[in-house]
Chain A
Amino acid sequence: MDGYYAFMLVATLLVLMMTTPALALFYGGMSRSKSVLNMMMMSFVSMAVVGIVYVLWGWSMGWSGDGTFFADPFELFALKGVATSDYIYVMFQMTFAVITAALISGAIADRVKFSAWLVFLPIWSTLVYFPLAHMVFSCTDAALICSQIGAQDYAGGTAVHINAGMAGLVLAIVVGKRVNWPKDKMRPHNLTLTMLGAALLWVGWYGFNVGSIVFGATFEEDPNAFLEQFYSETGRTFANTTLATMAAILGWLLIERMLHGKATSLGAASGIVAGLVAITPAAGAVDISGALAIGAIAAAACAFAVNLKFKLGFDDSFDVVGVHLVGGIIGTVLIGLFSTSDGAGGVDGLFYGGGLGSLGDQTLGVLMAIAYSGVLTLVIALAIKYTLGWRISEDDEIGGIDLSEHGENAYDLHTGVGGGVKSGVLAGAIGGPKEGIKA
């Protein structure tokens, strides 16, 4: 169907935009000025490395056939035998693999060897993401989370967000804290980049959620049913994605205003992401009031959760755990309460007269994702720690990872020898005596 094909081209482009530049900007702004380039590069190379291995064997592991954990990695190796008219579905799924791996980078900012990250990416994608994507998205008869457990996950609350959040938690612990953390809490260096990144993530997320529609019948089999589902389900997922995120902005701002006295821009940006994470699994399952509730609850919970790292002592630099793991769990579990049988899964949750069955399935799906991602990521993280090693030297970390790993600095604000007048209040005055700060 022409319209659906064009829609998938656009959806795939939108999700591509989520990793670069959106996530790179979101994390880059939160990093320190001496490590922003490395932070952004972790997203950029995730695009390159994970994208290639996804096409080589990732698609085959996910979609070549049945399997509890994954399908045959070699059957469709390098898309052998895949019709080019189906390539766009490969590309769409590839963008999910790319951003899931890139999300993890926020937990280990400023301190990881670029080479270690490049080695981690294909191994983690192969052993952790590709299997979880099969378990959740392929929905073949044996697929563990979608079919055997029967948990609903529209666009990746488990396979993407719980998975990345759990991997972030494991890596933050195995890799260890940054020098001087948490005594020095390391304030974000450019929140305008973070705001821009959050806004781009929001736009890109429509590709992610709305593009995740799975049809009950093909257009050829039943054109009317196909179109009816296409129109009603994309409307539902688009509206739910929007409303949940709006509620999440307000939820986060309210909580931080109560806890800390101010509604902040970083809080708004974080609320956007927390709301999007939570509505990702639920986008097709709930109605508007369910979406509003999930967005608000997730943002409030995440606004609390981001402080856990200071209490528990793990340096999850940009809150991959507090936002993606917590938001992913909340969104996936709340389906058990707010799911409606009018939705894509056709299941009523507890609040819609469906009893506890859905809540049980959702919880089991969450626990399975946590366990699988946690254990496998731990094995990979320890293997890298005791072979290659994760950390750059302490001197390099203090001097700035941009310089030590990439030989670059993001900003040249101080021209000449220690001048400094190009920035700040004097910047406007440099052009001449009449162009002062009042001009």
Chain B
Amino acid sequence: MKLVTAVIKPHKWEDVREALETFGVTGMTVSEVSGYGRQKGHTEVYRGAEYDIALVPKIRIEIVVDDADADDVLGIVVKTAQTGRIGDGKVWVSPVDTVVRVRTGEQDDAAI
């Protein structure tokens, strides 16, 4: 099993979710996060005082998938979240040892 973690632009989240559902992904964990990459933040001015806003809002999606689906899911996220402009985010895949469905106690593949 693999954990696919994607950090994307907030306005692309709905497109990514629809594409993943169409592919057959049944669930995911989504959170609002902040951060910055090479693009850094931006400047805001209030009554003449400049504020460096270092952090940019992003959406983080976490999905646990079968090994066989990992590359497809990765590809779907990259394809749908891509705008080609700076700040599109990152996706990474990491190995998962064990998964348990809390309700039933089912393990691993059965729990995905």
Contacts and interface: CB of A to CB of B under 8 A. Distances in A.
Interface of A: 185, 187-188, 256, 259-262, 264, 266-267, 270, 303, 306-307, 310, 319, 322, 420-421, 423-426, 429, 433, 436-438
A267 B59 contact: no
A264 B57 contact: no
B31 A303 contact: no
Contact of B30 (A260, A262, A426): A426
Residue of B46, B50, B51 ringed by the most chain A CB atoms within 10 A? B46
A267 B10 contact: no
Chain A interface, >50% SS class? loop
Contact of A425 (B45, B46, B59): B59
B49 A307 contact: yes
Interface in B35-70: 44-51, 57, 59
A322 to B, nearest CB: 8
B14 interface: yes
B25 to A, nearest CB: 12
What are the 7 closest A-B residue pairs judged by CB atoms, nearest first?
A425-B10, A436-B14, A260-B45, A307-B48, A306-B47, A185-B49, A424-B32
B32 A266 contact: no
A168 to B, nearest CB: 15
Contacts of A264: 45-46
Nearest to B33: A420
B70 to A, nearest CB: 23
A437 to B, nearest CB: 5
B30 A421 contact: yes
B103 interface: no
A260 B21 CA distance: 46
Q: How large is the interface on B (under 10, 10 to 19, 20 to 34, 35 or more residues)?
A: 10 to 19
Contacts of A306: 47-48
Given A421-B30, A421-B32, A437 B11 contact: yes
27 contacts: A185-B46, A185-B51, A187-B44, A187-B46, A187-B51, A260-B50, A262-B45, A266-B46, A266-B47, A267-B47, A303-B47, A307-B47, A307-B48, A307-B49, A310-B49, A319-B47, A420-B31, A420-B32, A425-B32, A425-B59, A426-B13, A426-B32, A429-B30, A436-B14, A436-B17, A437-B10, A437-B11
A253 to B, nearest CB: 12
Given A261-B45, A425-B10, A437-B14, 4 more contacts: A421-B32, A436-B13, A436-B17, A437-B13
Nearest to A306: B47
B17 to A, nearest CB: 7
Nearest to A303: B48
Contacts of A262: 45
Interface of B: 10-11, 13-14, 17, 21, 30-32, 44-51, 57, 59
Contacts of A266: 46-47
B2 to A, nearest CB: 24
Given A436-B14, A438-B14, A424 B47 contact: no
B57 A260 contact: no
Contacts of A260: 45, 48, 50
A334 to B, nearest CB: 23
A421 B48 contact: no
Nearest to B45: A260
A267 B10 CA distance: 29
Nearest to B17: A436
Given A424-B10, A425-B11, A436-B14, A270 B47 contact: yes
A262 B47 CA distance: 11
Nearest to A422: B32
Contacts of B11: 425, 437
A266 B48 CA distance: 10
B51 A259 contact: no
Contact of B57 (A188, A270, A421, A425): A425
Contacts of A310: 49
Contacts of A423: 32
A420 B48 CA distance: 31
A322 B48 CA distance: 12
A156 B47 CA distance: 25
A187 B57 CA distance: 17
Nearest to B14: A436
Nearest to B59: A425
B14 A188 contact: no
A282 B30 CA distance: 58
Nearest to A418: B31
B51 A421 contact: no
Contacts of B13: 425-426, 436-437
B30 A259 contact: no
Nearest to B58: A425
B39 to A, nearest CB: 18
